[in-house]
Structure 1
Amino acid sequence: MKRLAIYCGSATPEDPRYIELAHEVGQDLAERGIGVVYGGGRLGLMGAVASGALEAGGEVIGVIPEALANSEVANHDCTELYTVGGMHERKQRFTDLSDGFITIPGGVGTMDELWEAMSWAQLGYHQKPVGLLNSFGFYDDLLAFNRKMADVGFVRPVHQGILIAAEALPRLLKLMAEYRPHTPIFQMKADDL
């Protein structure tokens, strides 16, 4: 994995652990020679990921919608900064530029990015690992909900391994490196669906 898309919040929570985590993720990836593709912002966890990677000498590629770039939240310190027309183009660019995805804590936009990466993997638009860093138990309830969808039958057994979760980045990166693509829906027969 040469580059990973990092999905995270642009907010700065009161609890400093979240900003520290984001900074450490960026730094750790850079030290491993893994480039960061992210939302292109300079605020919140987004900015902390970029700062951590840049301070460690890493590659940081930002992808920001024009509306946000014009509101002065763009991080012009990135190695490369792409301004795109909207969110759909942004997520496509994340997919095109990265070898996988890691979600760290965030809000609604972060969830949108995570679920789309999982959905696209399930369908067959990409075969890249989708990681979830569950630091501080932030995503415990989301993981339980994902299990419930599988238990009820809304996630086929062949697709239940798409979401790769771990509490620490080294373990998550190891699991992502071991990921073997599943059979996407586009290649399945009607009887298998």
Structure 2
Amino acid sequence: MKQEHSAIPQDGAHGSALAGKRVALLVTDMFEQVELTGPRQALQQAGATTVIVSPNPGQVQGAHHDSKADRFDVQAVLSEARPEEFDAVMLPGGVMNADTLRTSAEAQRFVRQIQEDGKPVAVICHGAWLLVSAGMVEGRTLTSWPSLADDIRNAGGKWVDREVVRDGNWVSSRKPDDIPAFNREMVALFGAHA
């Protein structure tokens, strides 16, 4: 438990850094739970409003690797979610979650619109699959779970093996162990965008 909390600034320095900002947490069933809960806590502590966006209403299933974990209430259905109502998007990983979302035309449309509007994108682990399938990684430098490296390179991106990478309006990380660095850079990136 202590490790998860250490990812969050304790000194209050970021307490209102993201006040007034709305961040979409885009997931479907079997997302890697800690890759949603850790960043969500950091965003909320920095003053942001977070909204779980998913293709289906009701609840969405979290996972610890390939085992079911907790269920979370869906706060906005993807088909009705409007990118212009959000200031940023965060994409957790989880193999099944990411593999399903990457084939969703609505999910691709959503992240492409966020990008076209110049808003920040935060992505961790397998979440980058959606950016690949949406045709967004060409010319970008990012990291991810290592098994995505070939997909990213084949799509024209530059894959690097680092705990966190910032490239323009993107921040990316590889895995749950990177969450403290991911949270720090994500809050800084989101706060730097008006």
TM-score (norm 2): 0.43
* Bigger helix share: 1
TM-score (norm 1): 0.43
